[in-house]
Chain A
Amino acid sequence: MIDDATVRHVARLARLRLDDAEEAVMREELSGILQHIDAIRAMDLDGVEPTTHVIEVENVLRPDEPRPSLPRDEALREANDVVDGSFGVPRMD
C-alpha cells in the first residue's frame, strides 16, 4: 500500500534519515498499520463535523505588559554550539 518512494518522501518531510534496511521495515510496518486504520475510511461520516478541541475554551489573553523572561545564558546553557550569544548551526546549502 505504501511504496518505497512514499516512504522516502515522508521521511524527507519529517527530517528523518533512514537507511535502506529501515526504509524497507518502515514500508512493511506502515502498510500493516494503515490496513487497520483504513476501517475509518469506510465509515459513513456525512454531515459530521470534525472535533479539534473536546472541552470548550475561550481564547486566553493577558495584559500586554513586558515581563522578565528566561535569562539568555540559561536559555543557551543546553545548546550544542553557542556563537555570540546565539544558537550556532552549520551552514545551510
Chain B
Amino acid sequence: MGLRDLTAIEQIAELNAGRVSSLELVDAHLEAIARDDVQAFLATDAEGARARAREIDAMPERPPLAGVPLGVKDALSTRDIVTTSGSKMLEGFRPVYTATCVARLEAAGAVVVGKTNMDEFAMGSSTENSAYKNTLNPWDHARVPGGSSGGSAASVSAREVPWSLGSDTGGSIRQPAALCGIVGMKPTYGAISRYGLIAFASSLDQVGPFARTVADAALLLKHMVGQDPMDSTSLEWPVDIEVPTATDLAGLRIGVIEELMGEGIDPGVKAAVDASLAKAEALGATIVPVSLPTALSGLATYYVLAPAECSANLARFDGIRYGPTVEADNLLDQYELTRGTLFGPEVKRRIMLGTFALASGYYDQYYGRAQRVRTLIVREFAKAFEGVDLLASPTSPTVAFPIGDRTADPYSMYLADVCTIPASLAGLPALSIPCGLSDGLPVGLQLAGPAFSENRLMSAAHALEQAIGFNTRPPGLD
C-alpha cells in the first residue's frame, strides 16, 4: 500500500494536512505511468503536470482538488497536449484550446498528467479500435478493459491515477468501469459542457468521471456540472452535487429491469447482481421487478442513431485544417484518400452505416423509425419512475472478454452495450459500481435514475458500495 492506493479524497486530506505535496503525488503516479503496465496512456505531460503541482504547492491555501493527479480521455481537447481521439486522423494534433470540463477541474486544483487510450473516435467497447495500441485489463492482461474509455478505466484500476475523465455515448464510461472493477458515471444529458469533446453522436455524448469510490466520482462531477456559454446543450445545474455519505437505503424503491436480467446475461454476472440487490434490500430498499418492453430494441435503435450522427460529425475530418493529409491533385481525391486511409475499419463502418441510414430513400425506414423507438424508450423509463426511485441491471452482460475475441464480428462487439444503451437513449444519469466477481473478474451493477437525480443516485450507490465492500485492487498489481 502506497500513495497510489489512496482514494482522491484521501489524497486531498493528506495534501491539506501537509503530509504530502502535490509534486510528490504527481511524481508517484508519473512513475507508474512511465511503466504503464496496462498501456492505458497515449500521451503524458510530465513537465506540465510537475510545473502545475509546484504552483499549487506554493499556494497559501490549496484549491478544492488540492493538486491531485487526473487522467483525461484522449477525446477531450487539451491545449498544446497532443489529442488524437485514438485516431491516425489526428496524429500529432495539438488543440488550441482546452475542453471546458478539463479547464474547470484544473481551475479547481486537479493536475492533468496525461491522455488515455480509447477506441478510435469513441467507437467501440474494448479499446481494441484504438489506432495506437491495445489497453490491457488490470485484472487479467489477456483481456480487454472495455471501451471506449478503456484507458481511463484501466488507469484508475491500476492506480496510475486516482480518477479520470471519460465520455459515454452508449456505455463508454459505465461498461469499462464494470469490466475494470471501478466506478463510472454518466450524468444527465446536458450536465457537463461538451465544448472541447471531440463529437461522436451529439444527441447522446456525455462526459463523466471514473474513480475507485462513488464519493470520488461525485467530487469530480461536482466541479464539472453547469452551463457553459460555449455549449448550448449544457444545462444550468439545479442543485449542488453532494459528496455522498448515506449508510442505508431506507424507503428507497429500486426496480430491477426484467428484460436485462434474462437471456444473454452471463449466469455469473446475474448472480453477482442478485447478491448485491439482496444487500440493498438488507439496507432498507424495496426491490421490485420492472418491465421496460422496448429496452432490448435500444441496441438496434442506437446503431442507427449513433452512426447517423457520427457520419455528420466526422465530416469535419478532411485533412485541411488539422491532422495529417494524404495529398492528391484535386480536392475531392484528397478528401477521399485522406479519409479512406486515416480512418480505421470500425469508424469507416459506422460512417458508412450512418450515411446509408440518412440517405435519400432509406431515411424514413431507419433514422426516422429509430427516433420514434427512442420516444417509446423515453416513455417507458418515465412510466417506470412513477413507481420506483432507481432502476437496476447488470452494466455489461459479461465480464471482460479476451483480447481479439470479438473483433471479427462487429455485432458481437455491439452487444456489449445492450444494458447501457437504454439510459443513454433516454438521457438519464446512470452509473456502474463493482458488485462482485465472476470467474475472478469484476462485475458491474448499473443504477439509473430520472434526469437530475444525481444526488439520490450517488447517495444510494455509496451506501450500497459500503455494504458490498468490493476490493478494487486487482490481484498481482505491484
Contact = CB atoms under 8 A, between A and B. Distances in A.
6 contacts: A32-B410, A36-B299, A41-B369, A45-B372, A77-B96, A78-B321
A70 interface: yes
A40 B370 CA distance: 7
Contacts, number: 169
Interface stretch (B36-44, B171-179, B323-331): B323-331
A20 interface: no
Contacts of B333: 17
B375 interface: yes
Given A10-B352, A16-B340, A33 B369 contact: no
A90 interface: yes
Given A26-B352, A54-B427, A87-B320, A74 B96 contact: yes
A24 interface: no
Interface of B: 93-94, 96-97, 188-190, 203, 229, 232-233, 235, 297, 299-301, 303-304, 311, 315, 318-325, 327-337, 339-341, 343, 348-349, 351-353, 355-356, 359, 365-366, 368-376, 378, 410-411, 414, 425-427, 451
B349 A17 contact: no
B369 A45 contact: yes
A14 B351 contact: yes
A87 to B, nearest CB: 5
Contacts of A41: 365-366, 369
Question: Which 6 residue pairs spanning A and B have beta carbons closest together?
Answer: A54-B427, A17-B340, A50-B371, A78-B322, A17-B336, A14-B355
Given A45-B373, A50-B374, A55-B427, A33 B303 contact: yes
Contacts of A45: 369, 372-373, 376
Contact of A40 (B189, B311, B369): B369
Given A33-B303, A33-B349, 10 more contacts: A2-B356, A17-B340, A32-B410, A33-B353, A37-B304, A51-B374, A55-B427, A60-B232, A78-B93, A79-B321
Interface string A24-47: 001001101110111111010100
A88 B343 CA distance: 22
Contacts of B318: 15
A93 B431 CA distance: 51
Interface in A44-93: 45, 48-55, 57, 59-60, 62, 70, 74-75, 77-81, 87, 89-93
Contact of A39 (B297, B348, B371): B297
Contacts of B233: 53, 57
Question: Secondary structure at chain B's binding surface: helix, strand, loop or mixed?
Answer: helix
A73 to B, nearest CB: 10
B348 A16 contact: yes
A37 B334 CA distance: 33
B322 A51 contact: no
A5 interface: no
B355 A13 contact: yes
B355 A92 contact: no
A92 B330 CA distance: 5
Nearest to B294: A43
Which one of B340, B341, B356 has the greatest number of beta carbons of chain A within 10 Å?
Answer: B356
A91 B426 contact: no
B366 A37 contact: yes
A49 B372 contact: yes
A81 B318 CA distance: 13
A35 B229 CA distance: 42
Contacts of B311: 14
A34 B341 CA distance: 25
B371 A40 contact: no
A43 B203 CA distance: 22
Given A45-B372, A48-B372, A55-B188, A90 B300 contact: no
A54 B323 CA distance: 33
Nearest to B348: A16
